[in-house]
Amino acid sequence: MTSSVPGAPGNPRQTSLIASLRERFRLAEQNRDAKAKRALFREAVYLGIQPQVFSEIH
């Protein structure tokens, strides 16, 4: 069973990528690591994922 992630309906690969970005963003926030957050935003753009999909608190 695949959990639904906003921005990735029905796409397991996209769902996994967003979940990974979301978890790493949470850790960067927790550690107050601005450099890591910038790297995540660059990665998201490269992958064609809107940053707000994983950076907003849900």
Residues in CB range of 26: below 8 A, 6 or more apart: none
Q: What is the pLDDT of residues 14-44, one digit of tens each?
A: 999 999 999 999 999 999 999 999 999 999 9
pLDDT, residue 10, reads 73
Tokens of 35: 């450099």
- The pLDDT value recorded for residue 3 is 44
Cα–Cα separations (whole angstroms), residue 24 to 11, 14, 50: 20, 15, 15
Q: What pTM was estimated for this model as a whole?
A: 0.77
- Segment 48-56 shows an average pLDDT of 91
Assigned token pair, 22 = 């979301």
- Distance CA(13)–CA(56), nearest Å, equals 20
- Residue 18 and residue 30 in contact, taking contact as beta carbons nearer than 8 Å: no
Q: Containing domain of residue 47, as a range? A: 12-51
Answer whether residue 31 is part of any domain: yes
58 found inside a domain: no
**Number of domains composing the chain:** 1
Query: What pLDDT score was predicted for residue 44?
Result: 96
